[in-house]
């Protein structure tokens, strides 16, 4: 039952997501969360690290879309340097925003990776619609109370996930 919350892959940061890794998994499009995935929560604009990584993906001909639960104002400002497809107030883990992003990029769900720092929004939402999901470690430890509570539950799921991965590695 908890497997719907398991990511396809866990990485430390977006920098660990390479074009080779995406090609190996037949990924052509990326859905990116903003807060604590690309930049810390308190950073309003895309930083050089995020811009360089995204530009590398675009140069390699991957389509990229921001899907964020943040406000329209926040997403527009963040996307100013990036010029990506974007969906604000996404209500993740609801499926509508993920499906909209797939239509914007004109790819099938199985060819899209969702990249985010939260299991209950990014991973669960992406898994629900059949997308490849990549969980990144949160950039900043400073988070609101609700997120901190979710992180406690996430730890339990990640323990279960680790056991499954270890069991599969042994077999």
Domain boundaries, the chain: 2-170
Question: What pLDDT, on a 0 to 100 scale, did the predictor assign at position 1?
Answer: 63
DSSP single-letter state for residue 129: T
Sort strands 9-11 and 112-116 into parallel, antiparallel or unpaired.
unpaired
The verdict on domain 2-170 having CATH code 3.40.470.10 is no
Q: What is the structure's pLDDT at 89?
A: 97
Is residue 171's pLDDT more than 60? no
Share of the chain above pLDDT 70, in %: 98
| Opening angle at CA 70, ends 129 and 152, nearest 5 | 70
CA pair distance 149, 154, nearest whole angstrom: 9
pLDDT for 19 beyond 70: yes
What pTM was estimated for this model as a whole? 0.94
Work out the mean pLDDT of the chain and round it to a whole number. Answer: 94
């Amino acid at each position: 039952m908890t497997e719907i919350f398991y990511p396809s892959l866990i990485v430390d940061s977006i920098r660990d997501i390479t074009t080779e890794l995406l090609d190996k998994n037949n990924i052509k499009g990326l859905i990116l969360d903003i807060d604590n995935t690309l930049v810390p929560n308190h950073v309003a604009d895309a930083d050089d690290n995020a811009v360089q990584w995204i530009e590398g993906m675009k140069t390699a001909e991957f389509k990229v879309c921001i899907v964020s639960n943040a406000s329209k104002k926040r997403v527009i400002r963040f996307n100013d340097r990036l010029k990506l497809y974007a969906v604000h107030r996404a209500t993740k883990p609801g499926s509508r925003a993920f499906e909209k992003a797939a239509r914007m990029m004109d790819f099938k769900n199985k060819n899209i990776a969702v990249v985010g720092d939260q299991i209950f929004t990014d991973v669960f939402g992406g898994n629900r619609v059949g997308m490849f999901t990549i969980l990144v470690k949160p950039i900043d430890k400073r988070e609101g109370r609700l997120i901190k509570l979710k992180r406690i539950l996430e730890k339990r799921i990640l323990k279960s996930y680790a056991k499954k991965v270890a069991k599969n590695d042994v077999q």
